[in-house]
A and B are shown apart, each in its own frame.
Chain A
Amino acid sequence: MSHLKTALFDFHKASGAKLVPFAGYEMPVQYPLGIAGEHTHVRTKAGIFDVSHMGQFSIIGDETVCKQLEQIVPIDLSLLKLNQSKYSYLMNDQGGIDDDLIVTKLEDRISIVLNAGCKHNDIKQIKTAFKQPAEFVLHDELSLIALQGPKAVSILESFIPGVSNLKFMNGGSFSFKDKSVYVTRSGYTGEDGFEVSIANELAQTFCETLLTNTDVAMIGLGARDSLRLEAGLCLYGHDLNPEISPIEADLVFGITKHRRETCDFIGGSVVKDHLTNGIKKKRVGIQPEGTIIARENAKVFKDDKEIGLVTSGGYGPSVSAAVAMGYVDFNCSEVGTSVELEVRGKKYPAKVCLLPFYKKSYAK
């Protein structure tokens, strides 16, 4: 089976990227700098991520669009200001998460960034939830390029004046090479940064322009994974899936406050039950005590009883330690609880800990 390619495919190859299949696309997992080097580069300077495999989706229509979308996305879109973004998810009728996403309110539309592996099913689910007409557009003509890291703001400002005024989780239209681009101050690395929605034809020129600044490097999916794990952020299909509710995932902030009371959305009765009567399992951070690395699917034990599973785990280059997150029985989810992780048939001590492992302040 052939894989899809982003507009930057040839550029990745020419940049020495190692390409791997990911969510139906052939994507760069690392460049010659290597995963640990790329990771550190993003934490100290600035890195470019091609996230064009993600779905850039628009819903265009009248004032009913917000209300209809709220049936399946549990936020209050009327409370969102123009150009403001919000993290939320697509609910299913089991109270589980079908995808996590970023919604942005624009003048004439709601714009949503969807995970690559979920996007086609997401669009089907959204269309099903809509009872009144609206226009749905999946923007295959656009690339999505993230610039992340402490130097991202000064670097991007030098090429796209004005972006430094954006607050975290806010966006706006700007100009690059006399073409319109939409820039949001957001990302998924735990660093300050931006995501730039740009015409496919301009994507490579944009990257090449950014790379004229020697503090900028191309970054692959490998470092993206270690960066988001250190930042305590979930990866759909690993830390989240259709059987896990937002409450179990400890992502209640993705539901607008008053909607936690009304729970008037698809799957709301399950969410209400979880909020009222509690949950059986919960997503937590897990810190191995020694140097052992527990990866996805490592079992978690407490007093020889299996109590959970690691859903993401690896080595955190910026914290110089093994880091993990996963689901454990609720009564073992308190921070500081001693647990054991099974790795290659042996058990190793670990502690339930707070997320994130690595924290940096965003531009508020």
Chain B
Amino acid sequence: MSEVKYSKKHEWVSIDGDVGTVGITKHATEQLGDIVFAEVPDAGKALTNGGEAAVVESVKAASDVYTPVTGEVVEGNAAIVAEPALINQDPEGKGWFFKIKITSPDELAALMSKADYDKFVEENPS
């Protein structure tokens, strides 16, 4: 069973060995509304914790998706590029954005558990 951690910028990362799968939370998709465009990073791209990694756009606006961990992209999810609605339908499943080879596993300690994230959202409604 892989462990899932959450960031304050509303990303989740599911950790399986040294590979993390990153997406945006259900709460984030609810804030964005219907997603009509997604851009994901190419394999091989180096990403730094907190840096811009992907883009989602709703009818109204474009938003950056940040990576919650440092590493090298293993794969971008072509399925959400072809069908952005997947992100709304299954944000923490088929709507994942990219897989990343985690190079600084120490960073994971700064991320939140599901319970802590839920509490964070409750305390910081936007």
Q: Which A residues fall within an 8 A CB radius of B?
A: 29-30, 34-37, 39, 222-223, 225-226, 291-293, 295, 314-315, 317, 322, 344
Interface residue tally on B, bucketed by range: 10 to 19
B91-107 contacts to A (CB < 8 Å)? none
A293 to B37, CA, bound (A): 8
Which has the most chain B C-beta neighbours within 10 Å: A223, A315, A322? A315
Which has the most chain B C-beta neighbours within 10 Å: A34, A223, A225? A34
Q: Give the Cβ gap from B116 to chain A, nearest Cβ, in Å.
A: 26
A298 to B61, CA, bound (A): 13
Q: Main secondary structure on chain A at its contact with chain B? A: mixed
B36 interface residue (CB < 8 Å to A): yes
Asked if B55 contacts A35 (CB within 8 A), the reply is: no
In the assembled complex, which residues on chain A have CB atoms less than 8 Å from the CB atom of B36?
A: 36, 293, 315, 317
Q: Which B residues fall within an 8 A CB radius of A?
A: 33-34, 36-37, 39, 55, 57-62, 81
A295 to B33, CA, bound (A): 17
Asked if A35 contacts B58 (CB within 8 A), the reply is: yes
Asked if A222 contacts B37 (CB within 8 A), the reply is: no
Asked if B57 contacts A35 (CB within 8 A), the reply is: no
Asked if B33 contacts A34 (CB within 8 A), the reply is: yes
Which has the most chain A C-beta neighbours within 10 Å: B34, B36, B55? B36
Asked if A222 contacts B57 (CB within 8 A), the reply is: no
In the assembled complex, which residues on chain A have CB atoms less than 8 Å from the CB atom of B34?
A: 34-37, 317
A315 to B36, CA, bound (A): 7
A226, A317, A322, A344: the one within 8 Å of B55 (CB): A344
Chain B residue at smallest Cβ distance from A294: B62
A222 to B32, CA, bound (A): 12
Asked if A314 contacts B59 (CB within 8 A), the reply is: yes
In the assembled complex, which residues on chain A have CB atoms less than 8 Å from the CB atom of B37?
A: 291-293, 315, 322
Q: Give the Cβ gap from B88 to chain A, nearest Cβ, in Å.
A: 10
Which has the most chain A C-beta neighbours within 10 Å: B33, B34, B55, B59? B59
In the assembled complex, which residues on chain A have CB atoms less than 8 Å from the CB atom of B59?
A: 35-36, 39, 222-223, 226, 314-315, 317
